[in-house]
Structure 1
């Protein structure tokens, strides 16, 4: 009797903690731990202020699309200074919003690109009650790609560039059937899979093993958000990708371990390049060596923007939902 009561109490505690983990990591709630996590470097206030001033001075246009599951997804669009078919879609990180990518928006805009900065589902001004970690977001970014092709025209030349979770998003998107207008992808400090990064963070933050907490929380996630952690794999998606990909990762990244970059690089089937940035912590490669970051990205992007479009798998742009 006592043994049975003890087992029931243990099971109840496990369930309560798994519900807490879901709320902590997946549910749309303030992620205050991101500001205090020692593995998440904080950007200098001077840099934040400078980028914010640039952002506020630009004539961004608010744009909205509808996701495949009915969410209103918000983004900000910035026209190029001169007519061009070149454009970049920027994917932000965990608990962030589109304008967090303003430093990259400024870089691409200075190179003559049109810029789109979406707010991911469950973030910023977009609808959604959970964080997709790239798995459900991949469908959203296919929609954003379709939006840009419609806006620019069939001659559009698109770059996908994501940082942190945004890097995971663009890699997971790469495995979907994409139109030939998508020319290349830049992924900065991405993780290999949802399961792998949550397992790593469970150990880092809570000093706890993955089993049985991660499988049980994954079940909660499936019930509440519609996906198991094991489904969201950038590695698997890369096996379906043929687009050129540039991977960037800091060699001092302890939030998304640098070892994940090696796994991702090995999984890429198409043209690929990699830059491991000396001394860079998580999501700080641009700030650590801005000059080389800009030249590395620009050389890579220009190579594929200038090349003839490669035939894509058969895909028709869907009628746009009102």
Structure 2
């Protein structure tokens, strides 16, 4: 599966695409109020009429940016080859004009524009330095992605969507101090697309020591989902979660059994295991143990893909979002 649709909402607001440079100037465009939408700013990756920076400059003069609370960064020039340096530097230069910004998504890019594992990112932690009051940060794409260990007082939600999350990024996030973070969502991916992390790299997250407010944890889309679940079975952070998401990966009965036989999970409001390779018996076991406790379960496996075309009968199983 790939990502085929742009974000429809972000930061609690509906997404609105700021008109591009090809808009017919003879037709008046009535823009929504600055605070009512999440503004998507994009430039064509190739043969663009303007760069992302030029689009951003038009935006700064067309909108009352002092009231803007959410920005969605779409494509930038040559996204297959270049990271978002122009984007980050543009945001840095205009930071004083965005005092109300609380939510930023970097890379709302769909497969027709660039497959997720071909999106070039870079060092994204300067965003947290530029906007000390930011509460929501989303990043899509793992190619060239870097994330230094940082401390940020206000961040509440961090999402990193990749087909392969580099181990250094996982370690950087795990070593960061986020005292206000309530939601953490990491798509760990597959080694084929750079997802080379091991369970040991998650240690700082699993302990929860630097994440005292964490309530919702997603460690998903992993080819090592069984090992992730086995580690979660005894992870201190799980005891204070309201929701746990281990979906979209190569989860088999082995990992599911380890999770279910570990620490109690009945305190959770929800447990998401959708897109899995579980037997009917294992699904029934989850329902038997957790539904009486009121845990909402998602055990759907309809989209899980596997391939056994090899002559030796080897069965290949895939994460939900790879390339």
Q: Normalising by structure 2, what TM-score? A: 0.35
**RCO higher in structure (CA 8 A, sep ≥6):** 1
Q: Normalising by structure 1, what TM-score? A: 0.35
Q: Which has the higher helix share?
A: 1
